[in-house]
Amino acid sequence: MSVAFYTRDAVDSKTTAFCLLFALHGSHPGTCNLSLNVVDPDERLEISLQSCTLKVSPANTLLNALDSLAGVSYKVA
């Protein structure tokens, strides 16, 4: 499963999308690998991270929670 953060707001806000993602992982542990892509279109910067320890279960509840995060998109592959 790949999760992309497309705006600076998703990374800079007080309750960052990163923190929310880790909280979501706690309630959706699984066996699917998780990769993160942080994209700043203004700076034309993209950082790709592959988690070695966080694995998730891409259940509908997790996908719905990701849908509710501003500046975040995901792909299940």
- pLDDT tens by residue, 24-70: 767 888 888 888 787 777 888 888 888 888 888 888 888 888 888 77
How many separate domains does the chain show?
Answer: 1
User: H or E element: which one contains 9?
Assistant: helix 8-12
Of residues 7 and 67, more confidently modeled:
67
45 Cβ partners below 8 Å, 6+ apart? 39
The pair phi, psi for residue 69, each rounded to 5°, is -85, 125
Q: Which domain holds residue 34?
A: 2-75
Per DSSP, the three-state class of 12 is helix
Question: Which residue reads 């279960």 in tokens?
Answer: 57
| CA contacts within 13 A on the Cβ side of 40 | 8
Residue 14's pLDDT is 46
For the record, the structure tokens of 47 come out as 């950082």
